[in-house]
Amino acid sequence: MKTPDSSLSLLAKTVAASVALALGAGCAAVTQVGTSIGQATGIVSAEQSESINRSAQAIEKTFQDITPEQEYYIGRSVAATVLNTYKPFDQQQANNYLNLLGQTIAQFSNKPETFGGYHMLLMDSDEINAFAAPGGLVMISRGMVRCCKTEDELVAVLAHEVSHVDHQHGLKAIRRGRLTSALTTLGATAGQTLGGAELAEVTKAFEGTIGDITSTMMNNGYSRTTEYEADKGAVTIMKKLGYNPAALIAMLEQMQTKLQPGGHDFAKTHPAPELRIAELKKLLGTPPAPPVLEARQKRFEKAMSGI
Amino acid sequence: MKRPDKRWLTVGWIAIAAAALAAGPAAMSVQVKNGQVRATPSFLGQLIAPVSYGDRLPVLEQQGDWSKVTLSGGQTGWIHNSALSKKKIVMKAGGETADAGVSGEEVAHAGKGFNAQVEADFKSKNQNIDFSWVDKMEQIKVTPEAIQQFLKEGGIQPNEGGKP
């Protein structure tokens, strides 16, 4: 016979497992399965089970509650934090061309309109790096541009970044539970000025949010699945826009030869180019390298001559 | 088995149609800072008028990812669905407030939570972080004409979404 202690411990484990499932998967269905099992085995009461389901739903709702306006403010501070480490490359001609490409690309994504729109900027760094802040602020390094021999390849890089924005990968890096108080209880009324204590609490949640996103983007990297999702999104955008998606493979082949092992850039935060190429080939087969078109090549070389 | 009386079915349909007419076209809110209404359902379409965050636009019809909307002056035009929200966006405290019985899922409060005030507080606590380039980035805007010319010169023919 089970002792009361072991029942309690089993209950605690089941509840913990259910909550962990809910947090990990972010999926109410999974939680409900977890709590149903708990209920069926008699170790979680209907009341306890309802409470677990309720908190899991609250967490999911919190993520959905990030409005495009809030995403915009998160993105601005993420971009400013990135630019605190990587100085901008202040060359108008190159940045204008990058925006011409980037803003055109964005119009063929699933989310062409964001609160503040898409804007691109070059970073003055030899590292091979690129960042997409929530809401559409995209920054790419000179080292990354040097992996691109053609306009089509630069389009592939930007389309991958736009795809991160489109899929809200940055927001998904926010630690679960971080936003609950900021989004549900504080500053709940439009146009209300926050008082001292309330403002301090929302700003704390905001700082934590920016930290979660920038540490993921700059240090830990997204999961492989997330990067493959962005590559797949890039292929879709390029096809819609009328660029050859094989340019993404060509760019990754060049990146493979340039990445330094142990580097603090894509060498650390992204799956190896060869793995990304293998995933892309599942989608595209083994396409021939895209032809170099004179008009595109001329404007690409002119704009990026200082890179 | 007895069939339902056809006359009652007709009455039912008339009632449903009348209710739909009384409700008018569904309205959507502009959820971006600066929205654009265009002459055709395409980003290459000519700009008709700007719309602002929170504006309510009656939707006349849908075509792919685009909605045909009526502007306050009576003009009609197209706006991409990603610029629109089903939620009513409440702009100011004490201003246009949520209808009685309208749940939080149907209303969004502008400026709630993370907003300009929170950004200002973040800046004051992190003075080493410089926002000037973020502001400069946001000023870089490409016009539809420039995009059209860029596509043409590069021999780029969009397959979807870009056709005027």
Report which DSSP code applies to A147. T
Residue bearing the bigger pLDDT, B91 or A74: A74
Instruction: Quick: pLDDT tens for B1-36.
Output: 455 566 666 666 666 555 554 555 699 999 999 999
Task: Answer whether B31 touches A (CB < 8 Å).
Answer: yes
Token match 């190159």: residue?
Answer: A94
Q: Do A203 and B150 touch (CB under 8 A)?
A: no
Find the closest chain A residue to B132 by CA distance: A80
Residue (of A224, A216, A226) closest to A166 by Cα position: A226
What is the mean predicted confidence (pLDDT) over A235-248? Answer: 97
- For residue A46, the tally of other CB atoms under 10 A from its CB is 10
Q: Which of A65, A113, A179, A210 to mutate to test the interface with B (most CBs of B within 10 A)?
A: A113
End-to-end CA distance of chain B: 56
Task: Answer whether B1 touches A (CB < 8 Å).
Answer: no
User: Backbone dihedral region of B113: left (phi > 0), alpha (psi from -120 to 50 degrees) or beta?
Assistant: left
Report the C-alpha gap between B129 and A78 in whole angstroms.
10
What's the pLDDT score for residue A246?
A: 97
Residue bearing the bigger pLDDT, A83 or A65: A83
- What pLDDT band is residue A18 in, cutting at 50, 70 and 90? very low
- What pLDDT band is residue A7 in, cutting at 50, 70 and 90? very low
Q: In this structure, which amino acid lies at residue A262?
A: G
pLDDT at A10 over 50: no
Task: Answer whether B7 touches A (CB < 8 Å).
Answer: no
> How many angstroms separate the CA of residue A142 from the nearest CA in chain B?
17
Report the C-alpha gap between A281 and A287 in whole angstroms.
8
Q: Which of B43, B91, B129 sits opposite A190 (nearest CB)?
A: B91
- What pLDDT band is residue B113 in, cutting at 50, 70 and 90? confident
On whether the CB atoms of residues A113 and A166 are closer than 8 A, the answer is no
Find the closest chain A residue to B52 by CA distance: A115
What is the mean predicted confidence (pLDDT) over A249-272? Answer: 93
Task: Answer whether A110 touches B (CB < 8 Å).
Answer: yes
- What pLDDT band is residue A23 in, cutting at 50, 70 and 90? very low
pLDDT at A179 over 60: yes
Q: Which residues of B touch A121 (CB under 8 A)?
A: 133, 137
Which 3-state string (H, E, C) describes A205-255? HHHHHHHHHHHHHHHHCCCHHHHHHHHHHHHHHHHHHCCCCHHHHHHHHHH
- What pLDDT band is residue B162 in, cutting at 50, 70 and 90? very low
Residue bearing the bigger pLDDT, A191 or A273: A273
pLDDT at B48 over 80: yes
Q: Do A73 and B125 touch (CB under 8 A)?
A: no
Q: Which of A80, A110, A119 sits opposite B131 (nearest CB)?
A: A80
Q: Where are the domains of chain B?
A: 6-153
Report the C-alpha gap between A306 and A295 in whole angstroms.
19
Task: Answer whether A149 touches B (CB < 8 Å).
Answer: no
Report the mean per-residue pLDDT for chain A: 83
Residues 231-270 of A with CB under 8 A from B: 239-243
What is the mean predicted confidence (pLDDT) over A223-232? Answer: 96
What's the pLDDT score for residue A12?
A: 44
Residues 57-116 of B with CB under 8 A from A: 80, 82-83, 85, 90-95, 108-116
pLDDT at A174 over 70: yes
pLDDT at B126 over 80: yes
- What pLDDT band is residue A119 in, cutting at 50, 70 and 90? very high
CATH of B6-153, one of 2.60.120.620, 3.40.50.300, 2.30.30.40, 3.30.390.30: 2.30.30.40
Q: Which residues of B touch A83 (CB under 8 A)?
A: 130, 133-134
What's the pLDDT score for residue A264?
A: 87
Residue bearing the bigger pLDDT, A98 or A263: A98
Instruction: Quick: pLDDT tens for A45-81.
Output: 555 555 444 444 554 555 667 899 999 999 999 999 9
Find the closest chain A residue to B122 by CA distance: A203
Q: Do A190 and B35 touch (CB under 8 A)?
A: no
